[in-house]
């Protein structure tokens, strides 16, 4: 009987896609908004670039730290659950077999077949079977704190570089317009691409990130302009 290649599903992309899009989107929106706020206050190009660069570094480190702490907590929970499962498998083997079989019965198998499947899977990899079917822990989706922190920091920095690079060659008085246009175009492209990869509408994906990105930039520009004039 010929073997078929495993099917590729869009749902398998949601983990890395979410992290990459969130990091790059945050980098663009937060740094562009910061640049707009400082530009709105009447600062010169050098001050705007310095503020933007500080925002890039601070934002990337904040993303890395936040993601590391969050994913580490998830990893700790997974390890605690797996340790408990190992103990139960070592001391309550029959109960664990019955528990696994009951899961398969709930999914539609007949009790006899469910018990046979449970026995065979436990003979092959008891902990793996319980981790997957009882705890919902799949190796490809396990929490990896360092990987998550590096991914978030790098995607944030890449996103933050977009508005900063648009500031560099631009005259001070034109910075708000150029940063807005460049940032919104890149946000639209990124939103459309992410939606397409995820199987959703590119137009919908682009429009929502453009709306919220534009709103954030307009709000911070207004705040910088208002308070900068007062100061």
The mean predicted confidence, pLDDT, of the chain is 83
Tell me the whole-structure pTM to 2 decimals: 0.70
DSSP the chain: -PPPPPPP-GGGGHHHHHHHHHHHHHHHHHHHHHHHHHHHTT--HHHHHHHHHHHHHHHHHHHHHHHHHHHHHHHHHHHHHHHHHHHHHHH-HHHHHHHHHHHHHHTT--HHHHHHHHHHHHHHHHHHHHHHHTS---GGG---HHHHHHHHHHHHHHHHHHHHHHHTTS-GGGHHHHHHHHHHHHHHHHHHHHHHHTTS-HHHHHHHHHHHHHHHHHHHHHHHHHHHHH-
* pLDDT confidence band for 228 (50 / 70 / 90): low
Length in residues, the chain: 231
List C-alpha distances in Å: 38 to 60, 104, 163, 170. 19, 59, 13, 15
pLDDT digits (tens, 9 = 90+) for 184-217: 999 999 888 878 877 788 888 889 989 999 999 9
Where are the domains positioned within the chain?
14-78+144-230
Half-sphere exposure of 155 (CA within 13 A, CB side): 21
Task: List phi, psi (to 5°) of 132.
Answer: -75, -50
pLDDT digits (tens, 9 = 90+) for 100-116: 888 888 888 888 888 88
- What pLDDT does 18 receive? 62
pLDDT digits (tens, 9 = 90+) for 80-101: 878 888 888 888 888 888 888 8
Chain-centre distance for alpha carbon 12: 13
Burial class (CB in 10 A: 0-12, 13-18, 19+), 133: middle
């Amino acid at each position: 009987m010929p073997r078929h290649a495993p099917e590729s599903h869009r749902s398998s992309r949601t983990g890395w896609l979410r992290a990459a899009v969130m990091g790059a989107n945050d980098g663009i929106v937060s740094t562009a908004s910061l640049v707009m706020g400082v530009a709105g206050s009447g600062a010169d190009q050098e001050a705007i670039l310095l503020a933007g660069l500080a925002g890039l570094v601070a934002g990337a480190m904040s993303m890395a730290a936040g993601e590391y702490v969050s994913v580490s907590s998830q990893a700790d929970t997974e390890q605690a659950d797996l340790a408990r499962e190992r103990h139960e498998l070592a001391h309550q083997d029959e109960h664990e077999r019955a528990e696994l079989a009951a899961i398969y019965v709930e999914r539609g198998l007949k009790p006899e077949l469910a018990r046979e499947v449970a026995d065979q899977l436990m003979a092959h990899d008891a902990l793996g079977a319980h981790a997957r079917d009882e705890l919902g822990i799949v190796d490809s989706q396990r929490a990896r704190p360092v990987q998550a922190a590096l991914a978030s920091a790098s995607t944030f920095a890449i996103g933050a570089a977009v508005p900063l690079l648009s500031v560099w060659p631009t005259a001070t008085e034109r910075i708000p317009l150029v940063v807005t246009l460049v940032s919104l175009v890149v946000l639209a492209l990124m939103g459309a691409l992410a939606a397409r990869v995820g199987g959703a509408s590119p137009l919908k994906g682009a429009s929502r990130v453009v709306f919220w990105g534009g709103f954030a930039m307009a709000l911070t520009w207004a705040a910088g302009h208002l308070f900068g004039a007062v100061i």
